[in-house]
Structure 1
Amino acid sequence: MKCITFSAVAAAALLQTAAAAGKCGDQSCGKKTPCCVRGYCNANAMYCMPMNCEPQNSYSANSCWDTPHCVSSKVDFGGGDAFAQISDYNGDPSSAAFVSQFEPSNAKIGGGRLQMELVKQSDGKGFGATVTNTRAIQYGTVSAVMRSGGNSGGVVSSFIIRNDKLGDEIDFEFVGHETSSVQSNYYWHDHLDYTKMVKSPSLSDTSQNDHTYQIQWTPDQIVWSVDGNEFRVVKRSETWDAAENTFKYPDSEAYISFSIWDGGSGAQGTSEWAGGAIQWGQGPFIANVKSVEIDCFYKGNETTYTPPGDSDDHSTSSGKDDDDDKDSDDEKSASEKDKSDDDDEDKSSDDDEDKSSDDNSSSASDKDSADENAGKDEPSDDKDETDDVNTGSAATMLVSLGTTVAALLMAYAF
């Protein structure tokens, strides 16, 4: 009898817990503003694009836009469908290959190039720009013809492939006080090991001359090249961590992005790495990209790849899946996205590792601006009352149902 009574109470508690799920900060998103990002709800691209949107906190699990997968292409920034401001993007990747991530936007097309400018704010800090590919990639070769943002310390430019939610990253980073080389690094699940950074051989001034920077990413290895010359290789087999029983190798579906940001105003470790405070008199500071070529690992197929399990043999994988595996990947892509979205997004580091937020391809001021814009875009307490009523009614019905179930089962027990 006690067992039945406990089960009834537990059932009611579970239903009540379900009714409280889906909170976005201190509110619940409604039908008209369904997408949640950092405690705010809205319906535009800044909120609903899959790299930002939080499905578990949104109006429903289907509120966030689907993830468009990789299609091999060459993006020429002189073309009309290469770039869009985020306020103009409707979620169709064929309408824009890349989209700016912030408002106000310091990214634009000029002279047939994508231009991203670092602008001095009233507090003396710089506010930059981040531009992200509208399709996700999981393995492939990405080449960018570009120039870094300037020759002053503190100015940091980036070419990155990153999954923000999991913290997998492969990057090129340019620091303004060292324009004769570019830095390469990679991270797995935000395990930030800056000692793994490797510089390229000597280059002509990266802020004044075009160079072709290439990342070749496969299930087996990552290769960094500049102007066709390989200078670094990391093999997946070399990343095995016996203590944690896993390969610390970036293998999750991610987004290509370019950015410029103020590293000089960051924490001491970041500022020292970036070359100190920005010398604004040496500006303007504009990173620009002429073109990007994307060669997907899976030719002509918008599929994803499931890496070998950690229980598998520690040897590297054999390469591409066969046709049956590709068909299976098609069916699994949606569930893989949901799993990725549900992964823990908390990030932490010591004071000397404050560069973690910088490695997300934007400065702290960029993120603050994004939060401020989120607050401005979010409707006030008088938002869609119908949605609130519907949400409240659903919660009431669930709680009532839970109570009824408990009562009936308890009555039956007696």
Structure 2
Amino acid sequence: MKNITFATIALAALVQTALAAGKCGTQTCSSSTPCCVSGYCNSNAQYCMPILCEAANSYSPTSCWNTAHCVKSSVTFGSPNSFAQIADYDGNPADAAFVSQFQPSNAKINNGELEMTLVKQSNGAGFGATVIGTRAIQYGTVTAVMRSGCTSGGVVSSFIIRNNNVGDEIDFEFVGADKSTVQSNYYWHEQLDYTKMVKSPALPDTTLNFNTYQIQWTPDQIVWVVNGNAFRTVKRSDTWDASVNAFKYPDSEAYISFGIWDGGSGAQGTSEWAGGAIQWNNQPFVAAVKSVTIDCYYNGNETTYVPPGGNGGNGGSSSSSTITSSSLPSSTPSGSSNSNSGSNSNSSSNQTGSSSSTKPTGSSSSKPVQSSSSASDSSVNENSGSDSESSSPPHSGARSLVASFGVLASALVAAYASF
């Protein structure tokens, strides 16, 4: 008989378990606090929603909640199940179409409208709000009836479709420096080319009037529409870049979000773009959304579209998720202090979405301050005001190692059982 002992089997199984539980910062998540976000573990929506949850760093790859995919819907914010604070969200998108991302929350329902408020903190900077859809969308038409809260320079409001993980984004953004237009832009794979920004034609004061903003997004083109008038179209065929052998066209499953944030406290380029320092005597700064209509490209089918490969396409790679670290909500939780928990479900993808809204600082190669409306590309929360790069995606080698030890443990058990 070969010298195979229970101790050997136990050791292999122990190593497999230890490797399967990814490292979340300086700690390892447990079964009671299984979800990892930026070095912290917990069991509630603030950690387990696929928008934020880092599956590779969590207790197990299935700790994060499922990604819920697009269904055709019309959301009015006076209706039940339209909005929830993130502490009250249990992972079921039927219970809330949108959730407020941060705690403490500056988002609420008031008189049938979703209101997001920017408030002044003790350090003089503004603390705003981000509200994120609970279903991911990949192509479709999204229409929002909203009013910006930019009644002072420095205040920025936004309506964005973004995959924070991949870095694809389509947006409408409002700045206090200009109340008569809305800005449109799009990004591919975190390449923040601000030269592509196009303003809308003149509009009634966006801070006093509700206007209808629409993004029409298909595999072939993006159209920006305000009050029924299309003012910009970007065709996928025009985004081909031979140097990278790809169409620089947003095509990854993403999340709809609305936000308000302090651009005036950002880096010089961001502040100038937003209209300078906020004049706090002009508050309150309240962005409001009356309704959101979502018409999925697949007419309600929750199946995720995979872009075709070959012929210079993106090969579908932008649709498959890579896990990255996202910023924590503004009040960084510690350990398992937040007691509101939700049930786990398997997660096959972990795509994050929200607004990025970082603006140039005078150098095309520099990355300016992250907007406070985002839990996205630079891992900066609303309280910060400084730039910080997100951690690198985990490599597949770690999963291969886990699999190898799993095979080893199984082989040892099988070998012992045969004697």
- Length-normalised TM-score, structure 1: 0.76
Matched, 1:225 2:208: no
Residues of 2 paired with 1:279 and 1:313: CA distance? 49
CA distance in 1, matches of 2:69, 2:369: 26
Query: 1:248-274, CA deviations, whole angstroms, 9 ceiling, x for partnerless residues?
Result: 111010000000000000011111111
Who is 2:183 aligned against? 183
Residue number in structure 1 paired with 2:46: 46
| One-letter amino acid of the counterpart of residue 156, structure 2 | V
Superposed, which structure 2 residues align to 1:89-168 within 5 Å?
Answer: 89-168=89-168
Supply the distance in 2 between the matched residues of 1:120 and 1:359 (Cα, whole angstroms).
13
1:305 maps to 2:318:
no
Aligned CA-pair RMSD: 3.0
- For 2:383 and 2:96, the matched residues in 1 are separated by 23
Match of 1:8 in 2: none
SS of the residue 2:180 aligns to: coil
CA contact (8 A) 2:245 2:312 kept: no
1:274 and 2:271 aligned: no
Question: 1:355-407 CA deviation, whole Å, 9 max, x = no partner?
Answer: 462296369452659xxxxxxxxxxxxxxxxxxxxxxxxx9xx79x79x98xx
User: What residue number does 1:245 align with?
Assistant: 245
Amino acid aligned to 2:78: G
Please state how far the C-alpha of 1:80 moved relative to its aligned partner.
1.6
Shift of 1:308: 1.9
Is contact 2:55–2:61 with CA below 8 Å preserved after alignment?
yes
- Give yes or no for contact 2:128–2:373 (8 Å, CA) kept in 1: no
Q: What is residue 381 of structure 1 aligned with on the other side? A: none
Alignment of 1:10-409 (within 5 A): 19-20=18-19, 22-309=22-309, 311-312=310-311, 337=349, 352=363, 353-355=366-368, 357-358=370-371, 361=374, 364-366=380-382, 368=384
Is the 2:62–2:347 Cα contact (8 Å) retained in structure 1?
Answer: no
Count of residues in Structure 1 that have an aligned counterpart in Structure 2 = 341
Q: Is the 8 A contact 2:145 2:291 kept in 1?
A: yes
Checking the alignment, whether the CA contact within 8 Å between 1:261 and 1:362 is kept in structure 2 is no
Alpha-carbon distance in structure 1 between the residues aligned to 2:193 and 2:348: 27
Q: Counterpart of 1:180 in 2: which secondary structure?
A: strand
Tell whether the 8 Å contact from 1:109 to 1:115 is kept in structure 2 after alignment: yes
Change (3 A) 1:366 1:16: same
Letter aligned with residue 186 of structure 1: Y
Distance 2:372 2:105 in 1: 19
Q: Which amino acid aligns with 1:231?
A: F
Matches of 1:150 and 1:282, distance apart in 2: 10
Deviations 1:65-109 (A, max 9, x none): 000000001000011211000000000101110000000000000
Contact in 1 for aligned 2:29/2:41 (Cα 8 Å): yes
| Aligned-pair CA distance for 1:17 | 8.8
Deviation at 1:244, TM superposition (A): 0.5
SS at match of 2:370: helix
User: Could you tell me which amino acid in structure 2 is paired with residue 306 of structure 1?
Assistant: V
* Per-residue deviation, 1:303: 1.0
User: Share of identical aligned residues, percent?
Assistant: 65
| Contact 1:71/1:300, CA 8 A, preserved across alignment | yes
Q: Contact between 1:150 and 1:283, CA under 8 Å: does it hold in 2?
A: no
Question: What is the DSSP-based 3-state SS (H/G/I as helix, E as strand, rest coil) of the residue aligned with 1:71?
Answer: coil
SS of equivalent residue, structure 2 residue 295: strand
Q: Which amino acid aligns with 1:143?
A: T
Q: CA deviation at 1:335?
A: 8.8
**Contact 1:119-1:127 at 8 Å conserved across structures:** yes
CA shift at 1:42, angstroms? Answer: 0.3
Q: Which runs of 5+ in 1 are unaligned?
A: 1-11, 318-333, 342-346, 370-394, 409-414
- Cα deviation code 1:298-352 (max 9, x no counterpart): 012111111122x22679x9xxxxxxxxxxxxxxxx99726x68xxxxx9x9885
Change (3 A) 1:95 1:130: same
Determine if contact 1:34/1:58 at 8 Å carries over to the other structure. yes
Aligned position for 2:335: none
Cα distance 1:159–1:301, how it changes in 2: closer, same or farther (>3 A)?
A: same
- Whole-angstrom distance in 2 between the partners of 1:267 and 1:104: 25
Q: 1:306 to 1:197 in 2, by over 3 A?
A: same
Looking at secondary structure, tell me which structure has more helix per residue: 1
Quote the Cα distance in structure 2 between the aligned partners of 1:17 and 1:152. 56
DSSP 3-state at the match of 1:271: helix
